[in-house]
Amino acid sequence: MKQTTMPDAPMLQSLQLQQVAAEAMRRQASPHPPSSRHSLPLRVGTRGSPLALVQTRAFLTRLTRFCPVLRDMGAFQEHPINTTGDQVQSRRLAEIGGKGLFAKEIHESLLARQIDFAVHSLKDLETVLPPGLTLACTLKREDARDVLILSPALREKAKALVAAGHSPLDALPFGATIGCASVRRQAQLLHRRPDLRFGLLRGNVQTRLDKLAGGACDATLLALAGLRRLGMEDRADLILDPELMTPAAGQGIVGVTVREEDRELLDLLSAIEDPEARAVATAERALLEVLDGSCRTPIGGYARLRAKAQPSGRGHFSDRELVLTGLVAREDGSFHLRREICGEPTEALRLGRELGLSLRADSPADIFEDHG
């Protein structure tokens, strides 16, 4: 019997993208195109920060790698958008409206059809998107861990301590000032080191590094994913294990939003979807949605896939299980609850909700209130 060889995933992605591109070219050339078609170039909305632009260009490179005709057609055009989160740098996000401030204006442009789709750091997205929009695509996750970046005066001694077997947090001197705008990071550090002091430090990656070098604080924290994407991984002095610092939900994942009605774009983006990123993102965002704290509630969520002791069944995740860690804390570190759940990756939504309900049931009610 003749056997049929199934194409591998990259080949399938390439075929899908080529089909979409061919259809786009056909519609462009048609003297009677359908009224619902998109004109080229497609407009890609993004924040204007250096990291956001790097992520957007990496996404477009991936989209065109499998189908060069999209690149040759000049099919995409960047549209940087200045968001509220970028405009106000003197206060914490919680004080100026909180959730979704790095996506608000971008999504308004998407709904107004001023752009065709938008590229985001997934951790910047609100858990419930505006009506009419959907998360169409999640890309392969970069390293989700947080890192400590130290002032020049502390760097060498701190690295020597860690090399000798000490915890990275032991590298911080008593009463050190940490430049930070994240209540999640602050709560976890204060839980272990209540002597630390915190000052507001916001801005893009380079701005924060410049302020640290200028003596604004003794140390700061950043996401390793952002440093890697900017080619600045060497600036990470101490990488914090997720056991020590639970990452933010969605950290290290790039997500793309579109209008729910745009079936062509949904089909196009599905061709580069990363199934593992979708599974872990689904679990983390479900956890976040159930907890639904105020913008001042420190919440962490980190999912990953690990090998099963006994693989069973068939399918994409047959040999792996999903492990989700959730965290709820007080901003001052006086309360700190961390739990874990595991199960089938196909049950990511249920696992996230179940862990969220468990954490919420055993946390003080006032933690989830906005004391504004």
Task: State yes or no: pLDDT of 357 exceeds 70.
Answer: yes
Residues 6+ apart with CB under 8 A from 249: 122, 123, 284, 285, 287, 288, 299, 300, 301, 302
Average pLDDT of span 241-255: 97
> Given this model, what pLDDT does residue 238 score?
95
Q: How confident is the model at residue 92 (pLDDT cuts 50, 70, 90)?
A: low
The token pair at 180 is 């930070």
Q: Which of 86, 124, 146, 218 is catalytic?
A: 124
> Given this model, what pLDDT does residue 29 score?
52
Element (H, E) at 43: strand 42-47
The token pair at 319 is 């040999």
Integer CA distances (angstroms), 36 to 24, 120, 166, 265, in order: 12, 25, 61, 12
CA distance 320 to 120: 28
Burial class, 3, CB count within 10 angstroms (exposed 0-12 / middle 13-18 / buried 19+): exposed
Cα angle, residue 122 at apex, residues 204 and 24 outer, rounded to 5°: 110
Average pLDDT of span 61-80: 81
Q: How confident is the model at residue 260 (pLDDT cuts 50, 70, 90)?
A: very high
Shortest CA distance to 183 belongs to which of 369, 330, 293, 368? 330
> Given this model, what pLDDT does residue 346 score?
95
The region of weakest confidence among 86-95, 266-275, 345-354 is 86-95
Give the pTM. 0.87
Q: How confident is the model at residue 101 (pLDDT cuts 50, 70, 90)?
A: confident
> Given this model, what pLDDT does residue 195 score?
98
Q: How confident is the model at residue 4 (pLDDT cuts 50, 70, 90)?
A: very low
Mean pLDDT of the chain: 87
Task: State yes or no: pLDDT of 23 exceeds 50.
Answer: yes
Task: State yes or no: pLDDT of 75 exceeds 90.
Answer: no
Task: State yes or no: pLDDT of 159 exceeds 90.
Answer: no
Strand ranges in 68-174 using DSSP code E only, listed in sequence order: 76-81, 117-121, 133-138, 146-150
Catalytic, 262? Answer no
Q: How confident is the model at residue 22 (pLDDT cuts 50, 70, 90)?
A: low
What are the helix (H) ranges across 30-77? 50-65, 68-72
Whether the CA torsion 168, 174, 178, 184 is positive or negative: it is: positive
